Amino acid sequence: MTIIIRILQILVENLNYLVLFYFLALNLFYLITTIFAFFALRVYARRLKAINVEELITTAGAPPITLLAPAYNEEATCVESVRALLALNYPEYEIIVINDGSADNTMSRLTEAFDLQPAARVPMAEIPSATIKGLYRSQHQPNLWAIDKANGGKADALNAGLKFCRTPLFCAMDADSILERDALIRIVRPFLEDARTIAAGGIIRIVNDCTIKAGTLMEIRLPRNIWAKFQVLEYLRAFLSGRMGWSALDATLIISGAFGMFKRPAVVEVGGYATDTVGEDMELVVRLHRRFREQRIPYKISFVPDPVAWTECPESTKILGRQRDRWQRGLFEVLTRHRIMFLNPRYGRIGLLAYPYFYLLEMLGPAIEMPGYVAFLVALIMGTVSVPFIIAFFMAAFIFGVALSVFSVALEELTFRRYPRTIDLLKLFMLAVVENFGYRQLTIYWRMHGFISALRKVQGWGKMERKGFKTETST
Amino acid sequence: MISTIRELIGADTVFDLTLTVLIVVIAVLLVITIILGLAVLLLRYKNYLTARRLNRLEDQWSALIFTAIDSGTGELPAQTIKRNRQRLFLQYLMRYARRLQGEEFAIIRQLAQPYLPILLERSWHENPEDRARSLQIIGRFGFQDYSDYLVDALDDQSPMIVMIAAAALAGTKYPQYINPILAAIAHFEQWNVSYLAALLARFGPEGAESLRRTLIDATAPLHIRIAGAAALATIRDLSAGDLALDLLLKTADPELQAAALRLLQTVGRQTHLAGIRQFATAPEFMVRANACAALGRIGTDTDIDYLRRGLDDPSNWVAFHAAHGLLNLGDRTTLQNVAESAHARSELARQILAEN
């Protein structure tokens, strides 16, 4: 019995050290990307002030764009979203909404709102997708098309849209997201300034409780729901500190499926989106990196911090848990599929820096962190850890996290200041502290669940419920 | 400090000492975080005050501008704008002028004149972004007097400054600036060709001669020649047709061939058709597609056969341009027959017929 307790003690002790090391490594990476993001954002904000982006692009050869908006059971938000897309400020663009076999009234809502009628159109690329039941064109908005197809998942819907895309660039987005009016003008800039650019991602922000009128965001405020509030902070940290930092390091591995711009020929050449993963957005970016690196073709994939897509986030733990489970499964599927890139110098800083980070700290992270909390509690109860260790663990696990979240809020305030109410800023600071004591552990639990689901090869997206946008007329 | 903390928490091994250092480092980070948080709140307050002050100033300036426009003088009383606000005033005028043209714009430009020197004083000592901002204002309001500064800026190290100077000079439509611009943007091989073409096309027909020279200059960078061809197409320079055909027949570069064919679509004549037809069977699909587009645009009945063959091309793009070409040349019958048959392009034919 004593031997068993001793073995348990050794195991717990070593797990505690591992977890402490994990927290330090993870937070150090966050700190490094935050520092890089800070300098990159400073330069970017100065550039924005220096030039009139709109004037520069509208008068000078802006490439035509196709917006691909897959919709699955989006009856609550699809009409408002498409209205917002039609109001975008860009010289030449086309919208293709892809109804991915919705079980609700998505297609009929769209047909009714935009007078969609059957129209002929041939595919321009050979990319497989589920059966296409019909193609429709709006009778009063000639740049609006809709594809009605059998359900095949988001990637399959994007592939269906990509087949019919004729423009040199396409923008993949969610039909339940609202793009800001000048989002396309802003996201297209990297493609103009560097012809090697094959993909660029924009920032995703949370729209819950913001007010929308005629597809345009009228009032920006923090959501009232506590889970949505936490997600605002998470998104700020993920995009402003994370993606901006990785982009500054020229190692962008993720472009959010909710808003990303791609060169059509590059994506067609790699075969479009992978339909056998729930992480199709990341998978495409990793595959593009892989293909271009293997063929030694110069390319660039970047993140642009000011084109914004506003999206509705889950407000219940049930739906949020499903979403995080899915994200973790997606991450697992993508990183295990392309593991040849792991620490492989052939793939440059993607293989040597970004991939190992995502593999060891993001993919395996929950499997270390979750048991780590348990081990720490056990060690505390057994009295086998020293006071310095307890304090160091607390500092590394919680206080370091608080610091990083505050840095993200500071980055937001130093650059874009999208939350005009001072009370919202104060709340964000408060959330930066509070989220480390409960919410973070909860997300780790969901991610751990996702990790196990991925090991068990669980498939599917899980149901996502929408409450719809808050429009000015409804307030 | 570390030894005090070490004593306080009872750290007595090397490992504990390491942990103590870690605790101190994170504690320092926490202190920095608190200071940063407070600084951000102060910054918010400062921004609020600045915005309020700026709004007040802009209200005053707006009233002044209205008065100047109403009186048609374009003059403000001396010392109306204090020296430390002149830069802000110019930036305000710049925003204001975006919506104006003609006489009203001329008045705004006149209002800006006395304050433009301040941009020159400071512009070369600041970061590229501030200099770019100044250059934009100079380009908009002070081109006549300060064109040398804009031309000098074409040699700047910052690509953004070069582009802004180039855009400002191109906007003047004075042909003497096109050659310095072509020389400056020769280094920008990574920029989007359509963007460069649009910039060059802003000179209009006045810039055509230089563009034609660049098009046939085998020593010029490829991206400049392609941009030049696109610019000539935009300004519909009919004199470029023969040069485009000559280039098409001589070059082996498919990108340049495609650019020449795109130019011929716009400015080509029937005498160019024989040359274009050779490229309807080129190995690269983008060359074949552009050849079909050119034949469809300027071709004759003889070219209908080429376009019919284009419908059988394995590339969707070639077939697409061929189908459009057939419609342009009035051969609806072929399209109708294909549409009603089991031909692989029947759907395409139906689409083209339905769209037109």
ipTM: 0.81
Is the separation of the CB atoms in A228 and A243 below 8 Å? no
Nearest CA to A120 among B170, B238, B5, B350? B350
Residues within 8 A of A (CB atoms), B 159-218 only: 159-160, 164, 167, 189-199, 202
Largest CA distance in chain A: 80
Which band of pLDDT confidence, cut at 50, 70 and 90, is reported for residue A475?
very low
User: Is A192 close to B191, i.e. CB distance below 8 A?
Assistant: yes
Nearest CA to A160 among A92, A66, A88, A83? A66
Q: How many inter-chain contacts (A to B, CB under 8 Å) are there?
A: 150
- Among A391, A407, A411, A422, the residue to mutate for chain B (most B Cβ within 10 A): A391
Kindly state whether A343 is in contact with chain B, defined as any CB-CB distance less than 8 angstroms. Answer: no
User: Is B37 close to A386, i.e. CB distance below 8 A?
Assistant: no
User: Is B192 close to A192, i.e. CB distance below 8 A?
Assistant: yes
User: Is A49 close to B133, i.e. CB distance below 8 A?
Assistant: yes
CB within 8 A of B94, min separation 6: which ones? B136, B137, B140, B141
CB within 8 A of B263, min separation 6: which ones? B229, B230, B232, B233, B240, B241, B244
Determine the pLDDT at residue B5: 63
User: Is B19 close to A392, i.e. CB distance below 8 A?
Assistant: yes
Across A25-44, b (16+ Cβ under 10 Å) vs e yields: ebbebbbebbebbbebbeeb
Kindly state whether A63 is in contact with chain B, defined as any CB-CB distance less than 8 angstroms. Answer: yes
Largest CA distance in chain B: 98
| Helix residue ranges per DSSP H, A176-225 | 183-187, 189-193
How many Å is the Cα radius of gyration of chain A?
A: 23
Residues A181-199: what's their mean pLDDT?
91
Residue of A nearest to B230 (CA): A61
Helix B193-201 vs helix B222-234: crossing angle, to nearest 10: 50
Pairing of strands A169-173, A259-263: antiparallel
Judging contacts by C-beta atoms under 8 Å, the chain B residues touching residue A121 are 351
- Among A395, A412, A418, A429, the residue to mutate for chain B (most B Cβ within 10 A): A395
**A424-438, A458-472, B73-87: which has the highest mean pLDDT?**
A424-438
Mean pLDDT, rounded, of chain A: 91
Is the separation of the CB atoms in A157 and A98 below 8 Å? yes
Kindly state whether A400 is in contact with chain B, defined as any CB-CB distance less than 8 angstroms. Answer: yes
More confident residue, A365 or B73: A365
- From A464's Cα to the closest Cα of chain B, the distance in A is 36
Pairing of strands A197-206, A116-118: unpaired
Q: How many CB atoms lie within 10 A of CB A226?
A: 12
- Per-residue tokens: B116: 């433009």
Lowest mean pLDDT among A307-316, A378-387, B31-40, B295-304: A378-387
Kindly state whether A417 is in contact with chain B, defined as any CB-CB distance less than 8 angstroms. Answer: yes
Euclidean distance between CA atoms A229 and A435, whole angstroms: 10
The neighbouring-strand residues paired with A116 are A138
Q: What is the pTM of this model?
A: 0.88
Euclidean distance between CA atoms A398 and A402, whole angstroms: 6
Is the separation of the CB atoms in A159 and A128 below 8 Å? yes
- From B221's Cα to the closest Cα of chain A, the distance in A is 15
Q: How many CB atoms lie within 10 A of CB A410?
A: 26
Give the C-alpha distances (Å, rounded to integers) separating B113 from A331, B59, B218: 58, 21, 44
User: Is A50 close to B136, i.e. CB distance below 8 A?
Assistant: yes
The neighbouring-strand residues paired with A169 are A65, A263
Determine the pLDDT at residue A462: 62
Tell me: pLDDT of A394 over 70.
yes
Of the candidates A124, A192, A403, the beta carbon closest to that of B316 is on A124
Query: Which regions of chain B are under pLDDT 70?
Result: 1-12, 73-79, 122-126
Euclidean distance between CA atoms A122 and A117, whole angstroms: 16
Kindly state whether A433 is in contact with chain B, defined as any CB-CB distance less than 8 angstroms. Answer: no
Tell me: pLDDT of A114 over 60.
yes
Q: pLDDT tens-digit profile of A327-345?
A: 999 999 999 999 999 999 9
- From A452's Cα to the closest Cα of chain B, the distance in A is 33
Is the separation of the CB atoms in B150 and B143 below 8 Å? yes
Tell me: pLDDT of A305 over 90.
yes
Nearest CA to B280 among B225, B346, B325? B325
Give the C-alpha distances (Å, rounded to integers) separating A312 from A225, A297, B93, B176: 12, 38, 39, 54
Is the separation of the CB atoms in B30 and A31 below 8 Å? no
Which band of pLDDT confidence, cut at 50, 70 and 90, is reported for residue A474?
very low
Determine the pLDDT at residue A345: 96
Tell me: pLDDT of A72 over 60.
yes
User: Is A194 close to B191, i.e. CB distance below 8 A?
Assistant: yes
- Per-residue tokens: A384: 């086998």
How many residues are present in chain A?
475
Pairing of strands A197-206, A300-311: parallel
Nearest CA to A324 among A279, A266, A288, A380? A279
| Helix residue ranges per DSSP H, A340-421 | 348-349, 355-356, 365-382, 387-394, 400-415
Is the separation of the CB atoms in B288 and B313 below 8 Å? yes
The neighbouring-strand residues paired with A199 are A262, A301
Q: How many CB atoms lie within 10 A of CB B91?
A: 16
Is the separation of the CB atoms in A151 and A130 below 8 Å? yes
Q: Does an H or E element contain A211, and which?
A: strand A211-213
In SS3 terms, B213-277 reads as: HHHHCCCCCHHHHHHHHHHHHHCCCCCHHHHHHHHHHHCCCHHHHHHHHHHHHHHCCHHHHHHHH
- From B198's Cα to the closest Cα of chain A, the distance in A is 5
Determine the pLDDT at residue B119: 84
CB within 8 A of A223, min separation 6: which ones? A206, A208, A209, A229, A232, A313, A315
Determine the pLDDT at residue B276: 96
**A169 burial level (CB within 10 Å; 0-12, 13-18, 19+):** buried
**B296 burial level (CB within 10 Å; 0-12, 13-18, 19+):** buried
- From A414's Cα to the closest Cα of chain B, the distance in A is 7
In SS3 terms, B51-86 reads as: HHHHHHHHHHHHHHHHHHHHHCCCCCCCCCCCHHHH
Share of chain A above pLDDT 70, in %: 94
CB within 8 A of B36, min separation 6: which ones? A406, A407, A410
Q: What are phi and psi of A76, to 5 degrees?
A: -70, -30
Helix B159-172 vs helix B193-201: crossing angle, to nearest 10: 30
The residue type found at A289 is H
The residue type found at A31 is L
Q: pLDDT tens-digit profile of A406-418?
A: 999 999 998 889 9
More confident residue, A243 or B82: A243
Euclidean distance between CA atoms B195 and B340, whole angstroms: 42
- The CA-based angle B320-B323-B328, given to 5 degrees, is 125
Residue of B nearest to A121 (CA): B351
Which band of pLDDT confidence, cut at 50, 70 and 90, is reported for residue A47?
confident
- Per-residue tokens: B23: 């605790």
Is the separation of the CB atoms in A206 and A235 below 8 Å? yes
Kindly state whether B20 is in contact with chain A, defined as any CB-CB distance less than 8 angstroms. Answer: yes
Q: What are phi and psi of B74, to 5 degrees?
A: 70, 25
Residues within 8 A of B (CB atoms), A 124-183 only: 124-125
What strands lie across the sheet with A216-219, from one edge to the other? A216-219, A211-213, A470-471
Judging contacts by C-beta atoms under 8 Å, the chain A residues touching residue B37 are 406, 409-410, 429
How many residues are present in chain B?
356
Kindly state whether B97 is in contact with chain A, defined as any CB-CB distance less than 8 angstroms. Answer: no
The neighbouring-strand residues paired with A470 are A211
Of the candidates A47, A196, A391, the beta carbon closest to that of B129 is on A47
- Among A122, A135, A185, A406, the residue to mutate for chain B (most B Cβ within 10 A): A122
HSE of B39 in the Cβ direction (CA atoms, 13 Å)? 12
**B163 burial level (CB within 10 Å; 0-12, 13-18, 19+):** buried
Tell me: pLDDT of A308 over 90.
yes
Is the separation of the CB atoms in B68 and B75 below 8 Å? yes
